Amino acid sequence: MSAIKAFSVAALIYCCAGVSGHSGKPRFRVIAFFTGKVDPAHISFLHEAERWFPAIVPGEHGGTWIGFHFAGFALTPSAYPANWDWYHNTFLGAGSYVSNTWRPTSAVLRVEDRTHPATRHLPATFSSAASEWYRWEKDLRQNPDIDILLSIDSTSFPLGTGPKPHEIWHSGYYPVVWTNKNFKMIYLNMGHNDIDYEHKFDTTNRTLSYTLNNAMQDQLLIDGLLWLGDTTQRAPGGVR
């Protein structure tokens, strides 16, 4: 958890300017949504976004969304409480964060849905870039609205290096990429590089691994973005 606290970004990115939440046809293609903390101005904006976001993202409005790693984090009690029910339970469907692996390590990922546009160029399994992996409150397999695209393959176990025993996973089912069929969205749990927090090499918090230098994982991201930006292509659940 100590590593998580170091990362917090507030940003809403609109691809194609001029967005109106209630004026008919949207004038944007993709929204990238991240969490924010510390600065009161950022927090004020996030409260505003919480009211605005549900009105613009649903399929009938045509909005699309991609989220990475900490965009799905929520835990009560913590500095990032689970206080947005629609976002965490309806939209993402995962509920609260429960635990994570440590340190960031590569995992063998299994493609669960080979028919989705985001996974069409992926092999049955592949090794990911190093990341910290999350476990969630809810079993996404039991949610008919969720289409799990990738999960951690059992050949990854044991996953994580600790030092705490609970930070090393030895079994279980862990989805890492999924969509919600009621929305044109995709969540990817990747996005936590390994950092030299302990200053073993120098005092600069040197980056020890990179998320965007893995050919198969990059292909997943590229195809996911192309799917999100293609307004002529329907989501597998029928939502554009």
Q: Report the 3 state secondary structure along 73-124.
A: CCCCCCCCCCCCHHHHHHHCCCCCEEEECCCCECCEEEECCCCCHHHCCCCC
Q: Is residue 239 part of a domain?
A: no
- Picking from 200, 188, 201, 172, the residue whose alpha carbon sits closest to that of residue 129 is 188
182: CATH? 3.40.50.880
Residue 75 domain flag: yes
Q: Is 240 within the bounds of a domain? A: no
pLDDT, residue 44, reads 74
> How many structural domains are present in the chain?
1
Q: What number is the average pLDDT over the span 146-156?
A: 99
Residue 238 lies in a domain: no
Which of 62, 56, 16, 9 is CA-nearest to residue 33? Answer: 9
Q: Give 205's pLDDT tier (boundaries 50, 70, 90).
A: confident
pLDDT in tens, 109-150: 999 999 999 999 999 999 999 999 999 999 999 999 999 999
- Residue 95 within any structural domain of the chain: yes
Which pLDDT value is given to residue 174?
A: 99
pLDDT at 16 over 50: no
Residue 131 lies in a domain: yes
Between 12 and 113, name the one with better pLDDT.
Answer: 113
Which range, of 14-28, 64-78, 214-228, averages the lowest pLDDT?
14-28
Among 4-18, 154-168, 221-235, the minimum mean pLDDT is found in: 4-18
pLDDT digits (tens, 9 = 90+) for 215-236: 999 999 999 999 998 866 655 5
Domain membership of residue 200 (yes or no) is yes
Q: Is residue 235, in this structure, part of any structural domain at all?
A: no
Q: The domain containing residue 47 runs over which residues?
A: 4-229
Q: Please give the radius of gyration of the chain, using alpha carbons only, rounded to the nearest integer.
A: 18
